[in-house]
């Protein structure tokens, strides 16, 4: 047990929460100083928000890479330089200070000039990114999440605003890219010297003629007498917003219209984000990281109209995280899906059956009936198999939500290896082979 864990165990929860950020700040100052501030001289683009952070980071990094920039990437899903992106194993988005500094130092040694860094509210509130010279801050959206840690929505939102304030203090571009359609947009705009806003309803960049297809999204936008025709190969209305944020970054950095359009179109997938699995089965299977009420509603709103058969949704909710969202997620799944399968999702040391019951209450409120179109299967591997077997026709769709790219699942006895995509592929092969016999 390390020092932090010992202190956390001995102190009252409220006291530990109040002093924890100073411990991280001390660690950040120490490691930055010892390693000579490895990000100094780099141009860092920070991306924060509730949903869409990872995809937006990938879009920005790929666009800059295609344009010839030497650019690094650090996100929930992976990290690396150029096209050499390694999977992220750690169960957090912005890694602990020592690992963060080590990776930046290694990327710096490889010759990068730019770094796209996914930056969470936890990392900001705990000062883990102290000493990072952000040139551009990006806000995707701010919705209900992580209230277990921050306590209130306002504190959560203001933690994310710290990225813009830190960017504004640094003597660089002092630029902010902000989702104008988000209710918190005006507050973020106040925190940065040079804001640029994007959206569908309002903003400097406004998407028009939006078309959603299974293969991605297309739309047009105009800015400073330049007309852009954007094709993003990632499906979902949320990727209109994610790609627009990347377009804004490209414009701030002086990329040409052609470089921006080509760069956005170059990215064809992000692991665990609307990942389609095909092992020869008749029906559709999609793995996605969606795990918040906002991401659920956006995903279901996009998917439901495209499914002519049954929509089968499997998901859980993490232990030692926001409890309020569990019933909300259940209600949304019950509202949009024909069948709901509830399972584990990082129970940690919380009783998984209790978590499932909390989710099930929300699904029941939406009219779902247990053992008819609402099922509780605690073991996630078995839940995946069960969900796949519920699909009977070619027009059915199975959504497996909440784990996405993650390489571990946390249970009471610690972390266990996990790979949602590979587990699903194996279950599908088994199902397809059994149907052939």
Instruction: Walk me through the domains of the chain, giving residue ranges and CATH numbers.
Output: 3-266 (3.40.1190.10), 275-436 (3.90.190.20)
Distance CA 111, CA 378 (A): 47
pLDDT reported for residue 265: 97
Query: Residue 94's pLDDT band (boundaries 50, 70, 90)?
Result: low
Write down the pTM of the prediction: 0.82
SS3 8: helix
Query: What is the residue-averaged pLDDT of the chain?
Result: 90
- Residue 300 and residue 283 in contact, taking contact as beta carbons nearer than 8 Å: no
Confidence of residue 19 (pLDDT cuts 50, 70, 90): low
Mean pLDDT, residues 232-248 taken together: 94
The pLDDT assigned to 6 comes to 54
**What angle do helix axes 293-303 and 238-252 make, rounded to 10 degrees?**
110
Q: Tell me 41's DSSP state.
A: T
For residue 7, the model assigns a pLDDT of 45
**Residue 324: per-residue pLDDT:** 87
Mean pLDDT of 249-257: 97
Buried b (16+ CB within 10 A) or exposed e, 145-172: bbbebbeeeeebbbbbbbbbebbbeeee
Run of H or E residues at 243: helix 238-252
* pLDDT over 80 (residue 9): no
In this prediction, residue 83 carries a pLDDT of 86
More confident residue, 143 or 363: 363
Give the H/E segment covering residue 386: helix 380-390
Q: How many CB atoms lie within 10 A of CB 338?
A: 17
Residues 214-229: pLDDT tens digits?
A: 789 999 998 988 899 9
399 pLDDT tier (thresholds 50, 70, 90)? very high
Confidence of residue 21 (pLDDT cuts 50, 70, 90): low
pLDDT value at position 225?
Answer: 86
Write down the pLDDT at residue 127: 87
Residue 1's pLDDT band (cuts 50, 70, 90):
very low
pLDDT of 231 strictly over 60: yes
């Amino acid at each position: 047990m390390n020092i932090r864990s010992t202190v956390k165990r001995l102190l009252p929860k409220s006291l530990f929460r109040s002093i924890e950020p100073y411990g991280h700040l001390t660690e950040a100052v120490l490691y930055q100083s010892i390693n000579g501030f490895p990000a100094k001289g780099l141009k860092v683009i920070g991306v924060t928000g509730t949903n869409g952070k990872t995809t937006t980071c990938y879009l920005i990094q790929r666009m800059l890479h295609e344009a010839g920039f030497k650019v690094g990437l650090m996100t929930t899903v992976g990290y690396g330089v150029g096209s050499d992106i390694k999977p992220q194993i750690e169960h957090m988005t912005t890694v602990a200070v020592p690992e963060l500094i080590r990776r930046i130092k290694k990327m710096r040694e490889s010759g990068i000039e730019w770094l796209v860094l996914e930056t969470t509210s936890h990392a900001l509130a705990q000062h883990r990114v102290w000493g990072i010279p952000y040139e551009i801050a990006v806000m995707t959206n701010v919705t209900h999440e992580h209230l277990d840690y921050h306590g209130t929505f306002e504190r959560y939102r203001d933690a994310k605003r710290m990225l813009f304030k830190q960017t504004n203090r640094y003597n660089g571009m002092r630029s902010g890219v902000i989702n104008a359609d988000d209710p918190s947009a005006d507050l973020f705009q106040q925190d940065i010297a040079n804001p640029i806003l994007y959206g569908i309803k309002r903003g400097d960049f406004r998407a028009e003629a939006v078309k959603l297809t299974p293969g991605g999204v297309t739309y047009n936008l105009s800015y400073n007498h330049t007309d852009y025709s954007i094709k993003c190969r990632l499906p979902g209305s949320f990727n209109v917003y994610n790609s627009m944020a990347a377009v804004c970054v490209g414009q701030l950095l002086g990329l040409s219209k052609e470089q921006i359009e080509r760069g956005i179109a170059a990215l064809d997938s992000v692991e665990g984000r609307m990942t389609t699995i095909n092992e020869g089965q008749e029906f559709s299977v999609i793995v996605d990281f969606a795990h918040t009420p906002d991401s659920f509603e956006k995903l279901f709103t996009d998917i439901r109209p495209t499914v002519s058969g049954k929509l089968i949704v499997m998901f859980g909710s993490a232990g030692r995280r926001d409890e309020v969202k569990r019933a909300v997620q259940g209600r949304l799944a019950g509202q949009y899906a024909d069948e709901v399968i509830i399972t584990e999702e990082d129970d940690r040391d919380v009783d998984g059956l209790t978590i499932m019951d909390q989710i099930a209450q929300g699904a029941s409120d939406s009219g779902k009936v247990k053992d008819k179109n609402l099922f509780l299967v605690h073991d996630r591997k078995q839940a995946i198999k069960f969900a796949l077997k519920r699909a009977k026709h070619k027009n059915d769709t199975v959504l497996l939500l909440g784990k996405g790219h993650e390489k571990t699942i946390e249970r009471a006895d610690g972390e266990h290896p996990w790979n949602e995509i590979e587990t699903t592929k194996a279950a599908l092969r088994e199902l397809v082979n059994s149907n052939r016999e």
